[in-house]
Amino acid sequence: MSVVKRTSSNVLLDTALKNFYAAAEEMGLEDGLIEILSHSERRTAVSIPVEMDDGTVKVFDGYRVMHNTSIGPAKGGVRFHPEVCLDECEALGMMMTWKCSLAGIPYGGGKGGVCCEPLELSRKEKERICRTWAARMEPVVGAMTDVPAPDVNTGGPEMVWFMDTISKMRNRLEPAIFTGKPIPLWGSKGRTAATGYGVATCAIELLKNLNFDLAKATVAIQGFGNVGTYAALNMIQAGSKVVAISDITGTYYAKDGLDVKKAFDHVTNHPKHLLEGFTCPGCQKLDLPEVLYVDCTVLIPAALEGVINGKNADKVKAKYIVEAANGPVTPEGDAILDAKGILVVPDFLANSGGVIGSYFEWCQDLGGFFWTEEEYNERLVRIMRDNFQRVWAYSKDKNIKMRRAAFMAAIQRVADAARMRGIFL
């Protein structure tokens, strides 16, 4: 490779670039494509003047980066956080390109955000920020251009304000520009469970490939929120035992299996959606980190990034790890797990049910015809299974770890599309 490699003072962007160059080199990708894919197609920065509730005016910085659209419109969230900046959006947009590519959906990658402290904003102030962000980004977003979605500190209400603003500016309803909308406003049934359902599908496919009897498999899940709960419900539906679950209140363990449905009802009815006070036959409460060290078949970290690292990876007793959270295993942790022979299904394969669900919402919005939850789930499982098997086969074929295989397969699909489309002008 003879390209001048880009670097960045932003750690996230620098890491994203380094990971890309390393994989591209291993794949023998041609220099021209390395140059193209290491740059974003468009980096947009806007100012967002907002009248605050007390009558003063504040100006926020808003961003949207379109990393690559060789396969299809850019897809990725809009984040509200004090650390949001253009380089961070570029790094996350690049990761979305690989995630969408690996998921086999017709999207490229993008990311956006507003640098702000959401906890200090009233609902009305948030609405004004969203409407001005949308108005100023109107030239760069579109159902066939760039399709934003919720991310950290944004959700259904923000997507509705974005959609409403652009629809009014264009004098026509534009439901397919934003995904993650509430069901009555062109959202989709099935989205709530999609990520956890996809995680469980990966775990099930893994065990089937290894001829492991699902009825004999035991599962531990860190984090019992949106992703963890639906992963747990789907694992018991497949016949496995969930022996440990956890949230910020501690680890809940039962050697012969927990009553997951009871735990689900417990968090649904708890005012803060916590496991606090949960019990069932055989259940004992352990310290918070213990969930990671349970002797089990599959460990599903579904809470935070970096929880399995150089300091604790040697204590993990699970045979397999399916990464539900983004980045739960650090590179140091990964090396230790590898040495111990623990197979890891990487995050951007395992948790891609979320973005596949966004794609389903977009499909329904473009067609104006809505699916049942059964149709949604049936399609989700089919795609997740195919993707898992593709990465599995690629990793066996090249004799590399699943994480590397997933990354290389993802880059390959984008590179092929970019090569076919050629360089314009």
Residues near ligand NAD (CB under 6 A) = 195, 222-228, 246-248, 288, 302-304, 324-326, 351, 354
d(CA 404, CA 73) in angstroms, rounded, equals 25
Question: 146 forms bridges with which residues in the sheet?
Answer: 74, 142
Least Å distance, CB 226 to ligand NAD, is 4
Q: Smaller CB distance to ligand NAD: residue 161 or 348?
A: 348
Least Å distance, CB 211 to ligand NAD, is 29
Among the residues of 155-243, which ranges form H helices? 156-170, 191-209, 226-237
Least Å distance, CB 333 to ligand NAD, is 15
Residue 288: which residues within 8 A CB-CB, separation 6 or more?
Answer: 246, 248, 250, 251
Least Å distance, CB 238 to ligand NAD, is 20
Q: Smaller CB distance to ligand NAD: residue 10 or 222?
A: 222
261 catalytic, yes or no? no
User: Token pair 């069901």 is at which residue?
Assistant: 183
Question: 80 forms bridges with which residues in the sheet?
Answer: 114
Active-site choice (111, 126, 189, 241): 111
Question: 42 forms bridges with which residues in the sheet?
Answer: 66
Q: Smaller CB distance to ligand NAD: residue 172 or 272?
A: 272
User: Token pair 């709530």 is at which residue?
Assistant: 192
Q: In this structure, are residues 259 and 277 in contact, taking their beta carbons and an 8 Å threshold?
A: no
The Cα-based distances of 211 to 141, 217, 343, 402 in angstroms read 46, 11, 15, 18
Least Å distance, CB 270 to ligand NAD, is 11
Q: Smaller CB distance to ligand NAD: residue 275 or 415?
A: 275
Select the residue whose beta carbon is closest to ligand NAD and give its number. Answer: 225
388 sits in which H/E element = helix 373-398
Q: Smaller CB distance to ligand NAD: residue 161 or 278?
A: 278
What positions carry a catalytic annotation?
111
